[in-house]
Amino acid sequence: MNFIIVLLLCVLGLMVNSKVYCERPDVVNVAAIFTFDSVIGRAAKVAMEMAVSDINANSRILNGTKLNLIMEDSTCSVFMGSVKAFQVLERDVVAIIGPQSSTIAHMISHIANALHVPLISYAATDPTLSALQFPYFVRTAPSDSYQMSAIANLLEYYGWKEVIAIYLDDDYGRNGISVLGDELAKKSSKIAYKIPLPSNYTIDDLSYMLNSSKSLGPRVYVVHMNPDPDLRLFRLAQELDMISSNYVWFATDWLSTTLDSFSAADQVPMGVIEGVIVLRPHLPVTLKSRSFESRWRRVNHNSSAPLEMNVYGKYAYDTVWAVAHSVSKLLEENKNSTFSAIQESQDMKAGELQPWKLKTFHLGEKLLQLLLGVNFTGLTGQIQYDANRNLVNYGFEVINVVNERSKRIGYWYNYSGLSILPPEAFVNDQVSQSPLDQKLENATWPGGQDAKPRGWIIASNDHPLRIGVPKRVSFTDFVTEMNYTHKIQGYCIDLFEEATKLVPYDVPFMYVPFGDGHENPSYNKLVQSVADGVFDAAVGDIAIVTNRTRMVDFTQPYASTGLIIVAPIDSSKASTWVFLKPFTPQLWSVTAISFVIIAIVIWILEHRVNDDFRGPPKRQLVTMFLFSFSTLFKANQEYTVSALGRMVMLIWLFLLLVITSSYTASLTSILTVQQLSSPITGIDSLMAGNWPIGYQVGSFAYSYMTEMLNIAPSRLKSLRSPKEYETALQLGPRNGGVAAIVDELPYVELFLSDQTDFGIVGQSFSKSGWGFAFQKDSPLAVDMSTAILKLSENGRLQDIHDRWFCKAGCASQRIRYNEPDQLTLRSFWGLYLLCGACALTALLLFMLRTIRQYMRYKRKQMDPSSPAFSVSSNSRCSHIIFSFFDFIDEKEEAIKRIFTQHDSNNQTVVV
C-alpha cells in the first residue's frame, strides 16, 4: 500500500511541471534589464555589482542565501527588452530590476502583471507608470511628476506665463510634458508650443526644430530628453545664437545626469550651457554615501574608461538593496518559492516561442507588498512609498551653470516648494508653499546677464504684428483709413503709437484696415478676428465689455465711456415747481421743522422778559411763528432781550445765511439749465415707453439694449453718421425719426460740439472704457497698460485728446445736464446739529434758572407769617405743577418785585 502511494506521488510530481523547494534555497535569481552602453546604464551596472557583492558579504541579509543578479542588455530597444524579459523569466527570477527606459518599462510591465513578477526600476520616470494599470511596477527614482511640479514652480517664481517644450516623442517625453502642462495650468500658465523629437533624432532634426522655434513668441524653453554626452541640442543652439540674452533655458535632470557622468579627463563643453537652469535630484550627504563614493573611485581608478557616478547609479544600488530586503523577509515568512507553468496553447506551433516554459510566481503579490512596505535609509535617502507607489518625500537642487561651473541657487522640495535651505532644514510644522515664501539665490542667464530676461518676443521686422483697425465712415476723428492716401490716422492711432514709445522694447507692427468702407464695421467681429489669430491685436475705439473680455485681453482703459441718452431740448420751457428742486424733500422737511422748533424755543426764552412775546394766547402764537419765519427775510419787528435768546438767534441766523445762499446758487443753476422738450428723463422712462431708439452702426449699444435691458429689437434703428443723428432727432418718433439716441459718451460729445437743439438726458447708465485688444495671455497687453498709465500720469493722454477734440473748446465743457444734483441734508447736518445743541443748552439753562427762582418763591410763601402758609402746605402735586406754570407765565420783573418786597418786610420786623 505504501508503495502504491509513493508511486502515485511520483507520477503526480512528473505531471506537474513545477519546482518546489521544500527548504530555503541557496540562490535567489533576480534579473536586471537595462542598456549597458548608456550614461545611466554604465553607472548602474557597476553600482548593482557593488550592491550584490555587499549583500552576499552581509550575513544579516538573506541569511545564507545568495543573490544572483542576471544582467541582460536591452540595447535601448522595446523589442529586445521584451525578448530579454522572456528569457530571464524562464530562469525562475523573483523580480526584475529595470528597465531604465520608460518605453520599455511599459511593455515589460504587461508581462510582469501576467506572471506576477515585481518590476522595480531605478530610472523609468514616466508618471503614467504609477497608474493602476501597472500594479507590479515599482521604482526607486522619483516620478517625473515631481520635477514637472518643480519646473512649474520655477516658471511661476520668475513670472513667465508661456514656454516652449522640447521633448522626445515617446512615452517618457510625451507623458512628462503632459504633466508639465497640467502643473502650469494650475498656475495660470501654459505650454505655448510643443516641439517633439524622434527617439533617434539627428542634427538635421535639431536644426529644423530650433530654427522654426525662433519665429515663435516665447523665448523660454523647457528641455526633457535622455542624457546626451555630446550636448548636441545646446551646441547647435549656441551656433544659432540662442544661448544669448532674451533666451531662457530650463532642463530636467537628464542634463545634470549627463554633467555628473563626465570624468575629470573629459573635455566638458560647459560654455554651451552657460546660464541654463537645471534640476538635479537632491541626495542627502551621509557617511554611507561618502563611503560608497570612495569605494567607487577605488573601483574605477584602474579602469581603462574612467566613469563618474551619477544619481541613477545610486538609485540602482538602493534598488538592489530594496529587493534584497524584501526577498529576505519573504524567505523568512515562506521557506520556499513556488512557480507553476502556464498552460500550453493549442494554437502554438513547433519552433515558436514556448510560453509553457514561463511560470507564474505564486508569491509575487506577497513580494510586491513587501517591496512597497520597505522603509530604510539608502544612498539616496529614505526609501519609503505612499499609497500611489511613489516615494513619500523627494526634492531637487536648482542648478545654474555660471562661468562653466555648476552653481546651486536653491532647492525644491515636494512639501516646501522653492527655498535656499536644503529640505533637511525643514520640519513638518515649518512647511509652507506660499508664493511669498519662495526664494532662490540670484541666477545668471544666457549671455551673462544678471537681469531676468523678458522671456518672449512680440514680433520681428520680418514678422511684424498685424494690427487690425476699424475702417470707420463716421466719427472718423477716432480712427479710419484715408481713402486716397490709405493712411491710418485718428485719436486712437496717435495714442497707440505714443504708448508703444514707452514700451521698453521695439514693437514692429503694421496696420490692417477692417471693414468695407461703406459703413462702420462690427466691433464684435473685429475682436473675434483677434481671438482667431487673424490679427495679433486691434486698435481703435473698442469698448471693453463682458463678452469681448472672454475672447481677448484688453489693456488699461485709455478713455472712460458709458452709454448715455441724447434727446431734443427746449430752453423756453420751465417747470412750475422748479423753486422746490434745489432741496431734497428730506432737507425741506427738516428746515420747516427747524423753524417751528426755533419759534417755540425763542418764545420760551423771551416770554418772561420781552413784552413783544406777551399778551393774549392768539397774539403770542402769531408773534411766535411770524418772528421765526421773518428771520428768513430779516423783516422781523420784534427783538430778543434775553442773553440766551440772543445766543440761539445768533446760531440760527448763521444757519439761515448758509441755507439761503446755497438755495440761491442751486436755484440759479437749475433755472439756467436747458429743459427737455421730450418726456424722456432717463433710461427708465425710455425703457417704459414705446418710442423708437437710435444707435450707431457697429456699436455694442444694440446688444446691450436687447440683451441687458430687454428692449425689443423692432424699436431700435441703426444710424450711420452724425448727420443721420441730427435728422432722426429732428423728425421725431411720429415722423419716422427717433425719440432719443443711445451711444457712448465720446461720440455724443463730438456730436453735440456743434449742436444746440439736443442735449444729454439723465446720467450714464453703463460704465465702460475703450482699450486696445490683444490675444489671450499676450504679455504686450500688460506692458501697454503700463504705458497708458504713464501717459495719463504725465499728461500726454489729455494732450492727445485736446489736440483732436478741443480745437474750438472741449465739447464736454459745454454739455449741461438737465438735472443738477440736489442739495441734501447730509451737506448741512453739522449746522443743524450745532443749532439744535445750542437751543437745547439754552432751554436747559433757562429751566434751571426758573426752577431755582420758583423754589425760592415757594420757600417765601411757606413762611409762617405768610397768610397763605396753611394753604401751601396742604396743596397737592397737581396744584404745584399748575402753580409752576403760573409762575413761569408771570413777568420776571413782577417776581423780582415780590422778592424785593418780601426782603423789606423781613428787615422791618427785625428792627
Taking only the tens place, the pLDDT of each residue in 73-102 is 999 899 999 999 999 988 889 999 989 899
**pLDDT per residue over 609-640, tens digit each?**
766 666 677 777 777 767 766 666 554 545 67
Supply the pLDDT for residue 591. Answer: 82
- What would the pLDDT profile of 209-237 be if each residue is shown by its tens digit? 999 898 888 899 999 999 998 899 999 99
Per DSSP, what are the bridge partners of residue 561? 768
Cβ atoms of 650 and 598 closer than 8 Å: no
Strands 716-719 and 693-696: parallel
Cis? peptide before 99, omega within 30° of 0: yes
Cell of 612: 413783544
pLDDT value at residue 342: 47
Residue 120 DSSP SS3: strand
HSE-up (13 A, CA, CB side) for residue 130: 22
761 beta partners: 565
Per-residue pLDDT tens over the stretch 300-328: 766 656 677 889 999 999 999 999 999 99
Instruction: Share the mean pLDDT of the chain.
Output: 82
**Among the listed ranges 2-11, 59-68, 242-251, which one has the minimum average pLDDT value?**
2-11
Q: How far apart are CA 416 and CA 431, in angstroms?
A: 5
Q: How many angstroms from the chain centroid is the CA of residue 82?
A: 48
Cell of 329: 523577509
Distance between CA atoms of residues 456 and 73, nearest Å: 44
pLDDT, residue 874, reads 46
Note the pLDDT tens digit of each residue in 774-813: 998 788 898 999 999 999 999 899 899 888 877 555 545 4
Using the predicted structure, report yes or no on whether residue 16 has a pLDDT greater than 60: no
Q: Which of 606, 562, 886, 565 is nearest to 752 (CA)?
A: 565
Is residue 616 within 8 Å of residue 670, measured between CB atoms? no
DSSP category for residue 344 = P
> How many residues does this entry show for the chain?
911
Helix, strand, coil % in the chain, rounded to nearest 5: 45, 15, 35
Q: What are phi and psi of 623, to 5 degrees?
A: -60, -40
Predicted local confidence at residue 118, as pLDDT: 95
The average pLDDT across 117-138 equals 93
Give the 3-state secondary structure of 865-900.
Answer: CCCCHHHHHHCCHHHHHHHHHHHHHCCHHHHHHHHH
Integer Cα distance of 385 and 130 in angstroms? 12
Comparison of pLDDT for 42 and 18, the residue scoring more: 42
CA distance 601 to 621: 13
Contact criterion met (CB below 8 Å) for 793 and 581: no
Q: How far apart are CA 717 and CA 735, in angstroms?
A: 14
DSSP letter at 578? G
> Buried b / exposed e across 535-566, counting CB within 10 Å, b at 16+?
bbbbbbbbbbbeebeebbbbbbbbbebebbbb
pLDDT digits (tens, 9 = 90+) for 557-569: 998 888 889 888 7
Which pLDDT value is given to residue 222?
97
